[in-house]
Amino acid sequence: MGSRENTSSGRTAAARDRDSEGRARNARPRDGLGRPLPYGEEGVPRQPEGVVRRPEESVAEAQRLLDEGKPFHAHEVFEDAWKSGPEAERELWRGLAQMAVGLTHAARGNVTGGARLLRRGAVAAEGWAAGGELRPHGIDLPGVIAWARELAAEVERGEGGPPDAGARAPRLRGGA
């Protein structure tokens, strides 16, 4: 028999959102930075998980989400590419996902976590690029790595408070 304890949301534990394997899933609505909102509020549509896209589609979808100020959702696109792509590209996509999460944390005001993840993602992408490819799938990898490091430094200096995620989004393919 399921537990009938009340949760912090006032729902019973038996009514908790679980997947088919019993793992907890969070059905709460989220804002553009992935922060949970109270049940009943309208949030940003969630990025579907487990979508297999061609690399160029992943880059285009992630850029759209970044431009809209939704780096949390862009990280989900990169994570799907990381999990479904070829083994040889996993470090590239993981680094891009970490940079998107770094922007998410920075925009939420988490200076330490934001800067750390931006740098960790830059290191992962740089390590992958050491193999010689600097424009995988049209991505301006040197430019994105420089963006992450510059933003990490700005966030740590506290220049102007938390960055606006859309205004500070990287240009994945370079240019303005």
Q: What is the pLDDT along the chain (176 residues), one digit of tens a residue?
A: 444 445 555 554 445 666 676 655 667 888 889 899 898 899 888 878 889 999 999 999 999 999 999 999 999 999 999 999 999 999 999 999 999 999 999 999 999 999 999 999 999 999 999 999 899 999 999 999 999 999 999 999 997 899 999 999 999 999 75
pTM of the entire predicted model: 0.83
Task: Give the per-residue pLDDT at 45.
Answer: 86
Q: The tokens of 158 are what? A: 């506290």
Task: Give the per-residue pLDDT at 68.
Answer: 96
Q: The tokens of 126 are what? A: 């740089």
Contact 104, 34 (CB under 8 A): yes
Task: Give the per-residue pLDDT at 3.
Answer: 43
Pick from 83, 73, 33: which is nearest to 53 by CA? 83
Task: Give the per-residue pLDDT at 142.
Answer: 97
Q: The tokens of 40 are what? A: 């009943």
Task: Give the per-residue pLDDT at 14.
Answer: 46
Q: The tokens of 5 are what? A: 């304890």
Characterize 91-129 residue by residue with b for buried, 16 or more Cβ atoms within 10 angstroms of its Cβ, and e for exposed: bbbbbbbbbbbbbbbbbbebbebbbbbbbbbbbbbbebb
